Structures are given as structure tokens and as C-alpha cells.
């Protein structure tokens, strides 16, 4: 303590005490979080804007295959993927800069520290993605033109595969949220898990409808930008369903312990 006081008196400008360092850390961390959050929103908006505007579509290019019953082919120019990636990067950077700048000016956007719907939504989406991995692997292999996919490119195998993947997605999303609640030792653990289990099928139906509407808007084209748009919309709808389930569990039910 005496050494710190002597140092402060000797060099009051260059010395930064522990309390000031803590204040700086507490200030920088929310700025980074807000910047990343705005960056993600900007990335999603840029990708959707690029795809829905139709600027990435043009004749020619390489072919991608997607299994839907008997399967079909769509064309995408090599520049299409590049334009989507560039839009995502630019959107993320601009969004992150805007979020950090607003935080520096005192304009902050913070979530509820008790509800924390964003983290629950992320856990649910990750779990659903893991559960859907069998179908995603088949779709990815078909899209890349892998030869082994020819054996499953029939309605007899595709529909059961999608049904099993949907059931696995429901289980994995519920388990993922349950593990998160256990890690937090959350007061609303049981209501949150139950709400997630109920919201997953409803969110899946809503996400399917939203994804189908997006595909319809793009003319059911089977190129990569269409899948980027559909996956983005489906992910957003699922995240909203899980986030709302968490909010309902905290605000409308009693704590589990």
C-alpha cells in the first residue's frame, strides 16, 4: 500500500491503480460484447439482403445437388459464394464498429442478467443442429455431388431420415439447455427445460414455414445463396423460440429451487 502511494505521488499520470484497471476491464468487456452482437446482426442482415436481392444469381457456374425426395440440381456461379462471404464479412465489421461506437457514446444495449435468453437460445440452436446432423450430412454430401449419396436419394429413405433427425433435434436441444441450466445452477432450471421441450416442436414448425416461405420467395432455387438464406431464417426463428421459452419460464413460473 505504501509503495503504491509513493508511486502515485511520484508519477500521478503514468500510474494506474488496481481499481482503475478493474473499471477499465468492466468498461471494455461490455463494449466487446455489444460490438460482437451488433456484428452478428449486421452479418445476418447483409447476407439476407445480398441473397434476397438476387444479386448473386446469374447463369452458368457449377452445380449443387440437394436431396428432396428424388433430388434435383441447381446452378450457382463461382462469384455467388464469394459475394455472400464478402457481404457477411462487411456486415459483421460495420455492425461491430457501430456497436462499439455506440457503447463509447454511452448508448448501450444489454440483456436481462437474470433471464439471459440469448445464451439459452444459442444452446438450443446448437443442440438442434447436432440432432439434425444426420440430415445435414446427407444434404451436404448431396450438394457437393458425393457418389455415395445416390443410394439414399429416394423418398423411401429421405423421409424417415428427416423424421429421425427431427426427433434427435428435439432431444438434443432439450438436453443442451438442461446442461446449461445445470452449469448455471439456475433457479428456473426445471421450468426452462420444460418450456424448451414444448417450444422446440413449435419452433421447428414455425422455422420450417419461414424457411419454406424464404425458398418460395427465391423461386425454390437450389443454389448455395438460397440455402444460406433459408438456414439463416430457420436459425433465427429457432433462436427466437428458445429465447421466448426461457423468458416465459422465468417470468411466468415459480423457481424450481
At 142-179, the pLDDT tens digits run 666 666 666 665 556 777 888 899 999 999 999 999 99
Task: Note whether residue 244 is domain-resident.
Answer: yes
Q: Which residue has the higher pLDDT, 210 or 4?
A: 210
Mean pLDDT of the region 208-229: 81
What is the percent of the chain with per-residue pLDDT over 90, rounded to a whole number?
25
- Please give the residue range of the domain that contains residue 39: 32-252
> DSSP state, 14?
T
Name the maximum alpha-carbon separation found in the chain: 81
Q: Which residue has the higher pLDDT, 81 or 9?
A: 81
Task: Give the contacts of 93 (CB within 8 A, at least 6 positions apart).
Answer: 39, 42
Task: Note whether residue 21 is domain-resident.
Answer: no
The per-residue pLDDT for range 74-102, each reduced to its tens digit, is 444 445 667 778 888 888 998 889 888 88
Q: How many domains does the chain have?
A: 1
Task: Note whether residue 211 is domain-resident.
Answer: yes
Instruction: Give the pLDDT of residue 221.
Output: 74
Q: Which helix (H) or strand (E) holds 68?
A: none
pTM over 0.75: no
Task: Note whether residue 49 is domain-resident.
Answer: yes
Task: Note whether residue 23 is domain-resident.
Answer: no
Task: Note whether residue 73 is domain-resident.
Answer: yes
Alpha helices, DSSP H, located in 11-77: 18-52
The top-scoring range by mean pLDDT among 64-73, 162-171, 224-233 is 162-171
Task: Note whether residue 46 is domain-resident.
Answer: yes
Which of these ranges, 20-24, 115-119, 165-169, has the smallest mean pLDDT? 20-24
Q: Contact, 93 vs 39, CB < 8 A?
A: yes
Instruction: Give the pLDDT of residue 80.
Output: 62
Task: Give the contacts of 173 (CB within 8 A, at least 6 positions apart).
Answer: 124, 125, 127, 128, 131, 196, 200, 242
Residue 75: φ, ψ to 5°: -110, 145
Task: Note whether residue 25 is domain-resident.
Answer: no
Amino acid at each position: 500500500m505504501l509503495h503504491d502511494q509513493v508511486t502515485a505521488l511520484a508519477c500521478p499520470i503514468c500510474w494506474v491503480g488496481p481499481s482503475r484497471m478493474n473499471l477499465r476491464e468492466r468498461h471494455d468487456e461490455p463494449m466487446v460484447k455489444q460490438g460482437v452482437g451488433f456484428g452478428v446482426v449486421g452479418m445476418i442482415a447483409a447476407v439476407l439482403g445480398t441473397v434476397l436481392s438476387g444479386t448473386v444469381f446469374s447463369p452458368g457456374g457449377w452445380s449443387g445437388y440437394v436431396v428432396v425426395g428424388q433430388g434435383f440440381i441447381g446452378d450457382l456461379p463461382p462469384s455467388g459464394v464469394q459475394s455472400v462471404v464478402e457481404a457477411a464479412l462487411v456486415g459483421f465489421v460495420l455492425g461491430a464498429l457501430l456497436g462499439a461506437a455506440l457503447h463509447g457514446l454511452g448508448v448501450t444495449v444489454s440483456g436481462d442478467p437474470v433471464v439471459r435468453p440469448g445464451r439459452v437460445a444459442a444452446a438450443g440452436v446448437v443442440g438442434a443442429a447436432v440432432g439434425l446432423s444426420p440430415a445435414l450430412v446427407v444434404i451436404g454430401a448431396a450438394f457437393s455431388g458425393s457418389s455415395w449419396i445416390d443410394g439414399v436419394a429416394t423418398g423411401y429413405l429421405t423421409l424417415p431420415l428427416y423424421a429421425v433427425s427431427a426427433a434427435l433435434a428435439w432431444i438434443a436441444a432439450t438436453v443442451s439447455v438442461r446442461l446449461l441450466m445445470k452449469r448455471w445452477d439456475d433457479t428456473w432450471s426445471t421450468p426452462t427445460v420444460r418450456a424448451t421441450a414444448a417450444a422446440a416442436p413449435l419452433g421447428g414448425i414455425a422455422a420450417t414455414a419461414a424457411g419454406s416461405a424464404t425458398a418460395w420467395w427465391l423461386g425454390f432455387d437450389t443454389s448455395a445463396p438460397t440455402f444460406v438464406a433459408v438456414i439463416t431464417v430457420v436459425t433465427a426463428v429457432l433462436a427466437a423460440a428458445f429465447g421466448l421459452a426461457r423468458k416465459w419460464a422465468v417470468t411466468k413460473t415459480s423457481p424450481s429451487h
